[in-house]
A and B are shown apart, each in its own frame.
Chain A
Amino acid sequence: MSTVYEQLGGEAAMNAAVDVFYRRVLADAYIKRFFDGVDMQMQSNKQKAFLTMVTGGPNNYTGKDMREGHKRLVHDMGLNGAHFDHVVCHLRSTLAELGVKEDLIKTVIDVAESTRNDVLDR
């Protein structure tokens, strides 16, 4: 059984996938403030690594990476569960746009959800 990562087309498809995802995130007035002043190329690379991980691709992101990476956003900028929910929604939309079926979207979202406590430093 192949992973969603493989189904999407593996590494070659990740560039297109992350563009779709990142555009949705940046177009969302409720969460785009967390990306102000961030180097877009570097951020895009991180989103790509995140997408790779949640779709079952090769990765070595640890919970600690997610926690450390978002701490400042949580404690200085007020990042909370609602913002996380928005990002998860954009992930669903991205996968749907790329033709991933409902049941497989759920498996990806389950992985994304498992990072909630790390991202929000809970």
Chain B
Amino acid sequence: MPTIVYEERAYACEAGESVLDCLMRYGVLLPSSCQNGVCQTCMMHAIDGDIPEEAQKGLKDTLKIQGYFLACVCKPDDDMEIRQADTEGRLHEGAVSALDRLNASVVRLRLRPKNPLPYQAGQFINLIHQNVIRSYSVASLPQEGELELHIKLVPDGRMSSWVHQELQVDDPIAFYGPAGDCFYVPGNRDQPLLLVGTGTGLAPLYGILRDAISQGHTGAIHLFHGSLHLDGLYMVDVLQQLAADHDNIRYTPCVLHGDAPAGGAVGSIDDVVLRAIPDLAGWRAYLCGDPEIVRKLQGRVFLAGAAMQEIYADAFTFTPH
């Protein structure tokens, strides 16, 4: 009889009983709906223990790898320790190792965590400053030993003002994390990858792109980075160099108004993407940045043939202070 540990309590699971039913028997009501492993309302996270294959059917690759599972169809053979699916990781401390300006409004913050931190390029951390917590995607690769964030100065933004105006190299810095499902998954090295970001949406994509290359991805990787104007783009040279160095990488900077960089495009980024690649059947797509644009892209990319399971959307929502 396996034991399920949840929020520091142990629950004895009967043979053939699902995690959902087990907890319900003890009066713990986890969210659920279809009770058949389809709607994913009962998704939980396994901190420890083996997850029966049945309990991960239908989940995206990045969720499987992180240990997410469906409680209503999870009938464990052995002990498990589980938690809610939306907890955002442990508290970490570190120090600022570098602060650079990437353009007029975006700063690159690199920090060195006190203790090594396992993460996937493209996930995010929750930075802490006094009583303010804000999410930023990670642009670095784990093997760098440092975390890189791209932080845009937001009008009256408490976190971004602190980073842009007060924070110094060697200052201590703390954060929760990592969390997020937008990262590269090996095992399909020929699959074409579509990476589309607006503004600092480039941060996770820069990580995912280099992660894919470092893991031997041979399929086409097409990165589109969009902004209202040329002055909202950044790292154009670096990305052009990456595209020049790798046959399978294409980079298209895109502006809504005004002049685009060499090799770039002018127009609405979803139009630019779909004009360049009208048929997305078989592609995996990572879409990051402005929520409205990400939502629109999700729809268009899906209608252009990309499977729902292959579309990873990370909408960067602003926190009103």
Contacts and interface: CB of A to CB of B under 8 A. Distances in A.
Given A19-B308, A23-B303, A41-B308, A61 B57 contact: no
Interface string A22-63: 110011000000000000110011101100100000111100
B36 A15 contact: no
B299 interface: yes
B58 to A, nearest CB: 7
A22 B38 contact: no
Contact of A58 (B36, B39, B309, B313): B36
Given A11-B57, A11-B58, A46 B39 contact: yes
B135 interface: no
A48 B307 CA distance: 13
A89 interface: no
Interface string B287-315: 00000000100110011000111010100
A18 interface: yes
Contact of B307 (A19, A49, A61): A19
A16 interface: yes
Nearest to A26: B303
Q: Is the interface of A mostly helix, strand, loop or mixed?
A: helix
A23 B37 CA distance: 23
Contact of B35 (A14, A15, A41, A60): A60
Contacts of B36: 49, 52, 58-60
Contacts of A22: 302, 308
Contacts of A41: 308, 311, 313
B34 interface: yes
Interface string A64-96: 010000000000000000000000000000000
Contacts of A48: 38-39, 58
Contacts of B302: 19, 22-23, 26, 40
Contacts of A49: 34, 36, 38-39
Given A19-B307, A41-B308, A60-B35, 9 more contacts: A11-B58, A14-B58, A18-B308, A22-B302, A40-B308, A40-B311, A41-B311, A44-B308, A65-B33
